[in-house]
């Protein structure tokens, strides 16, 4: 999922020229009971050296995930068995 989170950051509207340095853990957020989703933090460095982050959302729609970086992006991720395993092993967060 790290590859997809970085791709979503690079193609989304939250990108202001930062350099990606890595990703955090995948979390499953259930605070919105009508729309539970997964989030992965992308670790960044701004041009002045300041470290920051961006949260990338993944919303399940049938057999695909729709990535979100500022807005829902126009590409999809097919949920393969490998991706489903990552989703199943995500850290559960209720906040």
CA distance linking residue 85 with residue 21, whole number of Å: 24
- pLDDT (tens digit per residue) in 36-45: 899 999 999 9
β-strand partners of 20: 44
pLDDT, tens only, 52-68: 999 999 999 999 999 99
Domain range enclosing 32: 2-93
Give 1: exposed, middle or buried? Use CB within 10 Å, 0-12, 13-18, 19+: buried
Number of domains in the chain: 1
Q: Mind giving me the DSSP string for 17-55?
A: SPEEEEEEEEEEE-SSTTS-EEEEEEEEE-TTS-EEEEE
Could you tell me the pTM of the whole model?
Answer: 0.90
């Amino acid at each position: 999922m790290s590859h997809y989170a970085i791709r979503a950051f690079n193609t989304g509207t939250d990108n202001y020229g930062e350099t990606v340095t890595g990703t955090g853990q995948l979390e499953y957020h259930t605070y919105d009971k009508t729309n539970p989703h997964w989030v992965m933090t992308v670790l960044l460095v701004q041009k002045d050296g300041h470290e920051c982050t961006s949260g990338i959302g993944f919303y399940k729609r049938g057999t695909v995930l729709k990535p979100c970086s500022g807005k829902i992006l126009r590409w999809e991720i097919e949920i393969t068995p490998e991706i489903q395993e990552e989703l199943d092993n995500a850290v559960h967060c209720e906040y």
